[in-house]
Amino acid sequence: YGSYALPLEELLDHRFVVRAKGVGLSAIPPQWVRGEYFDGACDPSQFEHGCGLARLAQAVGARNRTNVAGFVLAAFLHDISQPAFAHIGEQRLRGYKPHARAAQMVLEPSLAALVRKAGAEPRAVAEAIRGEGPYGPLLSGALALDRFDGTLRYATRYGVFQKIPYDAPAIAGAVVSTL
C-alpha cells in the first residue's frame, strides 16, 4: 500500500510484535514456505498483515479527517496473539479467542506504556481489538478492514494478482466513510 510510519517505531522491538513476524497469516508458517517453489515470499506473517491493516486504518483517518492513532495501533496489534497455524491453531485450542487475548496483551504494562507514548489510550485500543467502540466494527465487522487486507494479501501472494490492481487505502477510506 506504499510507505508510511507507525506512530512509534519502538513498537517494532516489543516482544509481542517480534513474535508476530514468525507467525503466518495462514496455516503455513512463513519459515516453512521458503524454498524452490515459493522463495520465502508466499505466506505473509501476522506482522506484515498488521502493518497493512495499520496503513488502511491511517487511510480511514485521512479520508474522514480524524485522529485515529488508537485505531491505527489496534489495527497493527490486533493479531499479536494469533497462535501458530492461524485459524487451524485456534480450533485446536478450544475456547481460545485471539482478539480477546491481544486486547489483554495491549494492557500489559510494557506494551501499554508504548501505546500511551504513541498517543493512544490502551483501553480504547483494547476495546477496538475486541470489536467494540467506534472503530471496533472496522476491525471485525462485516466490512472489516481485517478481511479486506487478508484477502488482498493472499491474492497477490498466491499469484491471483501480479500486483495490487487497485488503490486499497482509497477504497478502504471510501467504504468506511459510507458506514
In a 10 Å sphere around its CB, with 0-12 CB exposed, 13-18 middle and 19+ buried, how is residue 138 labelled?
buried
| b/e per residue 86-121 (b: at least 16 CB within 10 A) | beebeeeeeeeebbeebbebbeeeebbebbeebebe
Cell numbers found for residue 80: 499479536
pLDDT of residue 153: 78
In a 10 Å sphere around its CB, with 0-12 CB exposed, 13-18 middle and 19+ buried, how is residue 144 labelled?
middle
Query: Could you say which residues of the chain have pLDDT below 70?
Result: 4, 7, 26-43, 65-67, 85-92, 141-143, 175-179
Q: Among 85, 43, 66, which Cα is nearest to 138's?
A: 66
Q: What gap in Å lies between CA 41 and CA 27, rounded to an integer?
A: 15
Specify the pTM: 0.81
